[in-house]
Chain A
Amino acid sequence: MGWLTPTMQDLLLQAFWETLVMVGASAAIAVACGLPLALLLQVTGPGGLRPMPWLQRPLGLLVNALRSTPFIILMVAIVPFTRLVAGTSIGTGAAIVPLALAATAFLARLFENALREVDAGVVEAARAMGASRWQIVTKVLVPEALPGLIAAVTVALVSLVGFSAMAGAIGGGGLGDLGIRFGYQRFMPEVMASVVLILIILVQGLQSLGDWLVRRLSHR
Chain B
Amino acid sequence: MLLLPGHNAGAMRDVTDPPAIRLAGLRKRFVAGGAVALDDVSLELRTGEIFGIVGRSGAGKSTLIRTVNLLERPNAGSITVMGQDLLALDEGGLRAARRGIGMVFQHFNLHHRRTVAENIAFPLEVAGMPAAARRARVAELLPLVGLDAKRDAFPAQLSGGQKQRVGIARALASAPAVLLCDEATSALDPETTAEILALIRRLRDQLELTVLLITHEMGVVKAICDRVAVMEAGRIIEQGRVFEVFTRPAHPTTRRFVAEVIGHGVPPGTLARLPEPGLGQQRRLAQVLFLGPHSTRPVISEASRDFGIDINIVSGRVDEIAGEPFGVMALAVYGPAAAIDAAFGWMRVLGLLIEEDVAWAG
A residues whose Cβ falls under 8 Å from a Cβ of B: 119, 121-122, 124-132, 135, 139-140, 143-144, 146-147, 217-220
Contact = CB atoms under 8 A, between A and B. Distances in A.
B110 interface: yes
Interface in B308-331: none
Given A132-B95, A135-B126, A140 B112 contact: no
Interface in B70-127: 71, 94-99, 101, 103, 105, 107-114, 122-123, 125-127
Nearest to B108: A121
Contact of A219 (B96, B99, B112): B112
Given A124-B109, A125-B170, A139-B122, 18 more contacts: A119-B109, A121-B105, A121-B109, A122-B109, A124-B105, A129-B103, A129-B122, A129-B123, A130-B96, A130-B97, A131-B95, A140-B111, A143-B113, A144-B111, A144-B113, A146-B113, A218-B113, A220-B156
A121 B182 CA distance: 12
A218 to B, nearest CB: 7
Contact of A131 (B69, B126, B155, B170): B126
Among B69, B97, B112, the most chain A Cβ lie within 10 Å of the Cβ of B112
Given A218-B113, A220-B156, A125 B126 contact: no
- Which secondary structure dominates where chain A touches chain B? helix
A131 B91 CA distance: 11
A220 B122 CA distance: 19
A139 B95 contact: no
Interface in B35-55: none
A217 B156 CA distance: 13
A122 B110 contact: yes
B360 interface: no
A104 B180 CA distance: 43
B139 to A, nearest CB: 19
B326 to A, nearest CB: 38
A144 B112 contact: yes
Contacts of A146: 113
A147 B99 CA distance: 30
A101 B112 CA distance: 33
A143 B111 contact: yes
Interface string B245-278: 0000000000000000000000000000000000
A219 B154 contact: yes
Nearest to A121: B109
23 contacts: A121-B105, A121-B108, A122-B110, A122-B112, A124-B71, A125-B103, A125-B110, A128-B71, A128-B101, A129-B174, A130-B94, A130-B99, A130-B123, A131-B126, A132-B126, A140-B111, A143-B114, A144-B112, A144-B113, A146-B113, A218-B113, A219-B156, A220-B156
Contacts of A121: 105, 107-109
B111 to A, nearest CB: 6
Given A144-B112, A218-B112, A219-B112, A126 B99 contact: no
B177 to A, nearest CB: 14
A130 B71 contact: no
A114 to B, nearest CB: 13
A139 B125 contact: yes
Interface in B109-165: 109-114, 122-123, 125-127, 154-156
Nearest to A123: B109
Nearest to B167: A125
Contacts of A135: 126
Given A129-B126, A130-B123, A139-B125, A220 B112 contact: yes
A147 B156 CA distance: 15
B115 to A, nearest CB: 9
A148 to B, nearest CB: 11
A143 B113 CA distance: 7
B123 A217 contact: no
B126 A130 contact: yes
A147 to B, nearest CB: 8
B126 A128 contact: no
A220 B110 CA distance: 12
Contact of B71 (A127, A143, A144, A220): A127
A8 B103 CA distance: 67
B336 to A, nearest CB: 63
B69 A128 contact: yes
A199 B309 CA distance: 96
Nearest to A133: B91
Nearest to B94: A130
B99 A129 contact: yes
A79 to B, nearest CB: 43
